Amino acid sequence: MKNAKTRIATAIAASFIALSANAVDFHGYARSGIGWTSGGGEQTAFTVNGGQNIA
């Protein structure tokens, strides 16, 4: 009886782990960047006063 409860508990725990691991997968496109465009031209990055913009 104790062995059956252990197997059931293990199966339930394994199913939760499998569902959690599946939620981490990401199939898509992600991009992160800070900048802006003016009039649809090239993107310009933020620079500090006196800084050099390397594009």
d(CA 34, CA 53) in angstroms, rounded, equals 13
Residue range of the domain that includes 7: 1-25
- Under 8 Å CB-to-CB from 11, ≥6 apart: which residues? none
Q: What is the DSSP letter of 6?
A: H
Residue 4: pLDDT band (50, 70, 90) is confident
For residues 29-54, give the mean pLDDT: 63
| Under 8 Å between Cβ of 45 and 53 | yes
> How many structural domains are present in the chain?
1
Residue 14 lies in a domain: yes
Residue 8 lies in a domain: yes
8 φ, ψ (degrees, to nearest 5): -65, -45
Residue 16 lies in a domain: yes
For residues 28-55, give the mean pLDDT: 63
Q: Chain-wide mean pLDDT for the chain?
A: 67
47 φ, ψ (degrees, to nearest 5): -130, 150
